[in-house]
Amino acid sequence: MNEEQSSVILNTSSRFSPPQGVKLSYGTAGFRADASLLQSTVYRVGILAALRSLKTKSVIGVMITASHNQVSDNGVKIADPSGGMLSQHWEPFADALANATSPHQLVKLINEFVEKENIPFDGIRPAEVLLGRDTRPSGDDLLEAARQGVTSIIGAVALDMGILTTPQLHWMVRARNKGLKASEQDYFEQLSSSFRYLLDLIPSERSKLGGANEKLVVDGANGVGGVKLKALEKLLSGLVIEVRNSSEDGGVLNDGVGADYVQKEKVVPHGFGSKDAGIRCASLDGDADRLVYFSVQPESNGTIDLVDGDKILSLFSLFIREQLSILNEKEDIKNLHQARLGVVQTAYANGASTGYLKQLGLEVELTPTGVKYLHEKAAEFDIGIYFEANGHGTVLFSEYFTGWLEARSNELSSGSKGSEAEKAALRLLAVSKLINQAVGDALSGLLLVEVILQHMEWSIHRWNDLYHDLPSRQLKVKVADRTAVVTANAETVVVSPPGLQEAINEETAKYPHGRSFVRPSGTEDVVRVYAEASTQETADSLANSVAKLVDRFLG
Ligand code: NG1
Ligand code: ZN
């Protein structure tokens, strides 16, 4: 970095003082904190994004959101050139920048990093960063801080994309770097046209009058997702959606609403009740990257049948597996490629879902919590489907297999849909366009669920009956130092402190179908406890006993 560049950073950074006595960490989902603490962090992430753009010679994204957290929080995360999460290799640099105590220390750190990573400051290709934010009131000022961070790298361009869902911003970054059309309108058009295409490919003998055709009611978490879903719906036919809890309705973001609340509490969100009994309902989180479905139980006091990320994963797996087997059975297709399908879960996946997927004959992989791990694993397959139980997930298609599908689609004469095998290839190609391959996306996931239900002629109840969840319980334990818990084998085994795993094993063995594990949270200062058993009472009891063990070993 030359003198001029260093002095620009020194000058601008002096306007953004870091909060005193707070240690910030990039974590699994970027930086998150009370919004009042984040100005300097977001400014510095702006600098980092511009450097990442120079290094990768690609467009980078910065998203201002704290997802399902309370409205007074905010956060910032980076979308890498692929549209995925920031390379883990750069996370320690993000931490160091955020925690630099003075402008001079900041410039020193940047200089060292630029040298180590060989970041080109040759002006050949200026840095380009797309900025987006959710509906939080603090978003406007923080976006301005990010813009100042980006433009403190001389020549860098920051483009304000406005209020977006997190997955929309990731999608735009991916599309820009592939040289494709990348505006919000392009996003809506790609989703709606591939949805329509999949509807047209539903076998004509199916009545299209099954239970799935009744309206869908969506809880928008009082956030950005509801607004965007309404805009998308205008381009759709074949689906009636009623949106409740949209940001313009005046309710508080994520307060008694949204996918996180519905999945954790297993109760109806505000605005839903017994009048909705039996109707197909869905819930998005605050930035619309998580999706769960539910139906209100009749004459209940707000209890629901939850259809979580594991069941969305199962539905997608069934449909994709069916299309692959049609492809593989028929011999009338040229250059048949035996595609490898894999599914990826974490230890939080309900044991019944894992059992179900294995019984379908699928390869099931387990990774640690955090979508960056699931995404990486899913990318090893021709088609990799990943989901966290909380509703974050997507489907990835390898470049090779997408190319193969495209070639099949081009071979078809215009107007004709060809043989059964060719139709299956076209469906898979349309899924690859409908689903957001950059990151989990509640809107594109919702459209894929809807079209598959119509294809199968399934109601939400039929879908929910694929398998029955084992009763489970999640608890949080406050301990002195959560980093004292070290795990292995995709977080299923505790290796430190010594003796804790043996104690958990001994406890778990007392329960029929018992399973339990503990891990330090990556987003909160707690150790999480998960337990499953054959009844709700025993799952609760196992979780409580294991929480006591955590307390005894670490309290
Ligand atoms: P932590 O706090 O590390 O458990 C939570 C979720 C993750 C992921 C991240 C990012 C659970 C049990 N954990 O992580 O799945 O979504 O937040 O938002 O749901
Ligand atoms: Zn989210």
534: annotated active-site residue: no
Q: What is the dihedral of CA 296, 298, 300, 306, to 10 degrees?
A: -30
Which of 264, 390, 526 most suits a substitution to test ligand 1, by most atoms within 8 Å of the C-beta?
390
CATH code of the domain in which 330 resides? 3.40.120
What is the CA(93)–ligand 2 centre distance, in A?
24
**What is the domain count for the chain?**
3
Q: What would the two tokens of residue 422 be?
A: 């060719």
Residue 389 labeled ligand binder: yes
Q: Is the CB of 388 under 6 A from ligand 1?
A: yes
Residue 211 inside a domain? The answer is no
What per-residue confidence (pLDDT) applies to 336?
A: 62
How confident is the model at residue 330, as a pLDDT?
65
Ligand nearest to the CA of 170: 2
Distance between terminal CA atoms of the chain? 48
Q: Which atom of ligand 1 is nearest to the CA of 27?
A: 3
Average pLDDT over residues 479-500: 95
Residue 201: exposure state from Cβ atoms within 10 A (0-12, 13-18, ≥19): middle
Would you state the pLDDT for residue 334? Answer: 55
Last residue of a domain, one of 417, 448, 464: 464
Stretch 236-250: mean pLDDT, rounded?
94
Angle at 256 between CA 349 and CA 292, to 5 degrees: 35
Q: What is the mean pLDDT of residues 446-465?
A: 96
Average pLDDT estimate for 144-161: 97
> Does the beta carbon of 348 sit less than 6 angstroms from any atom of ligand 1?
yes
Query: Is 397 inside any structural domain?
Result: yes
Q: Are residues 327 and 397 in the same domain?
A: yes
CA 389 to ligand 2 center in whole angstroms: 13
Specify the higher pLDDT residue, 519 or 525.
519
CA 385/CA 252 separation, integer angstroms: 33
Burial 368-406 (b: 16+ CB within 10 A, else e): bbbbbbbbbbbbebbbbbbbbbbbbbbbbbbeebbebbe
Question: Across residues 56-78, what is the average pLDDT?
Answer: 97
* Averaged pLDDT for residues 131-158: 98
Asked whether the predicted pLDDT for residue 212 surpasses 80, the reply is no
> Does 32 carry a binding-site annotation?
no
Nearest bound ligand to CA 27?
1
Q: What's the average model confidence in pLDDT over 406-428?
A: 78
Ligand number nearest CA of 289 is 2
| Domain CATH number, residue 523 | 3.30.310.50
Q: Which of 108-112, 203-207, 444-448, 519-523 has the lowest mean pLDDT?
A: 203-207
How far apart CA 486 and CA 463 sit, in angstroms, is 37
pLDDT of residue 99: 96
Do both 15 and 80 map to the same domain?
A: yes
Q: Which atom number of ligand 1 is nearest to the Cα of residue 389?
A: 19
28 lines ligand 1 (CB under 6 A): yes
Best residue among 254, 478, 523, 528 to mutate for probing ligand 1's pocket (most ligand atoms within 8 Å of CB) is 523
For the chain, the maximum distance between any two Cα atoms, rounded to a whole number of angstroms, is: 72
The whole-number pLDDT of residue 208 equals: 55
Three-state DSSP at 394 gives strand
| Residue 289 known to bind ligand | yes
Contact 480, 555 (CB under 8 A): yes
For residue 100, CA distances in Å to 17, 21, 40, 78, 257 come to: 10, 12, 10, 19, 37
Whether residues 316 and 428 fall in one domain: yes
Among 400, 431, 464, where does a domain finish? 464
How far is Cα 143 from Cα 160, in angstroms, rounded to an integer? 8
Q: Is 522 annotated as a binding residue?
A: yes
Which of 521, 527, 528, 530 gets mutated to test ligand 1 (max ligand atoms within 8 A of its CB)?
A: 521
Two tokens, residue 56 = 């990768």
Residue 317 has pLDDT above 90, yes or no: yes
By alpha-carbon position, which residue is closest to atom 11 of ligand 1?
390
The residue contributing the CA closest to ligand 1 atom 4 is 521
In which element (H, E) is residue 345 found? strand 341-345
pLDDT band at 411 (very low <50, low <70, confident <90, very high): confident
Residue 207 lies in a domain: no
Task: Report, as an integer, the average pLDDT of 127-154.
Answer: 98
336 in a structural domain: yes
Rounded distance from Cα 260 to ligand 1 centre (Å): 10
> Which residue has the least CA distance to atom 19 on ligand 1?
390
Structure tokens that stand for 42 in this block: 């977001």
Q: Which atom of ligand 1 is nearest to the CA of 290?
A: 16
Q: Residue 374's pLDDT band (boundaries 50, 70, 90)?
A: very high
Per-residue pLDDT band for 331 (boundaries 50, 70, 90) equals low
Same domain, 430 and 538: no
Is the pLDDT reported for residue 207 higher than 80?
Answer: no
Q: Per the residue annotation, which of 53, 67, 444, 541 is the catalytic one?
A: 67
Report the pLDDT averaged over residues 185-189.
98
Sorting pLDDT into bands at 50, 70 and 90, what band is 310?
very high
Do 314 and 356 contact (CB within 8 A), yes or no?
yes
What strands, in cross-sheet order, belong to the sheet with 128-133? Answer: 31-34, 73-79, 59-64, 128-133, 157-163
Does pLDDT of 169 surpass 60?
yes
Q: Which of the 8 DSSP states describes residue 28?
A: B
Sorting pLDDT into bands at 50, 70 and 90, what band is 418? Answer: confident
Q: How far is ligand 1, taken at its centre, from the CA of residue 549, in Å?
A: 22
The CA 218 to ligand 1 mean position distance, Å, reads 23
What is the predicted pLDDT for the residue at 269?
98
Distance 67 CA to ligand 2 centre (A): 4
Q: Is 522 a pocket residue for ligand 1 (Cβ < 6 Å)?
A: yes
Locate the ligand 1 atom nearest the alpha carbon of residue 346 and give its number.
Answer: 15
**Do both 411 and 530 map to the same domain?**
no
421 pLDDT tier (thresholds 50, 70, 90):
confident
The full DSSP string for 158-208 is EEEEEE--HHHHHHHHHHHHTT---SHHHHHHHHHHHHHHHHHTS-TTS-S
Query: How many angstroms separate the CA atoms of 446 and 319, rounded?
Result: 15
Residue 151 and residue 27 in one domain: yes
Residue 473 is assigned to a ligand binding site: no
- In which domain, by residue range, is 12 found? 3-163
- 435 and 491: one domain? no
| Domain membership flag for residue 219 | no
> In the chain, what percentage of residues exceed pLDDT 90?
86
- Are both 416 and 489 inside the same structural domain? no
Provide the pLDDT confidence category of residue 333 given band limits of 50, 70 and 90.
low
Residue finishing a domain among 124, 142, 163? 163
> 392: Cβ below 6 Å to ligand 1?
yes
pLDDT at residue number 299 = 84
Tell me how far apart the alpha carbons of residues 15 and 279 are, in angstroms, rounded to a whole number. 52
What is the pLDDT, as a whole number, of residue 323?
Answer: 95
Q: Is residue 268 part of a domain?
A: no
Q: For ligand 1, what atom is nearest to the CA of residue 260?
A: 19
* Predicted pLDDT at 214: 76
Task: Flag whether 396 is in a domain.
Answer: yes
One domain for residues 18 and 83: yes
User: Which atom, in ligand 1's list, is nearest to the CA of 519?
Assistant: 4
Q: Within this chain, do residues 42 and 111 fall inside the same structural domain, yes or no? A: yes
Task: Give percent helix, percent strand, percent coil of the chain, each to the nearest 5.
Answer: 45, 20, 35
Q: What is the mean pLDDT of residues 304-329?
A: 95
pLDDT above 60 (res 140): yes
What's the burial of 51, exposed, middle or buried (CB within 10 Å: 0-12/13-18/19+)? buried
Identify the nearest ligand to the CA of 254 by its number: 2
Q: Are residues 159 and 26 in the same domain?
A: yes
pLDDT of residue 218: 98
The response to whether 528 counts as a known ligand-binding position is yes
Pocket test for ligand 1, best of 86, 285, 345, 369 (most atoms within 8 A of CB): 369
Q: Does residue 173 fall inside a structural domain?
A: no
Q: Is the CB of 29 under 6 A from ligand 1?
A: yes
Smallest Cα–Cα separation from 195: which of 489, 434, 457, 455? Answer: 434
What is the overall mean pLDDT for the chain?
94
| Residue 124 sits in the same domain as residue 66 | yes
- The domain that contains 29 carries what CATH number? 3.40.120.10
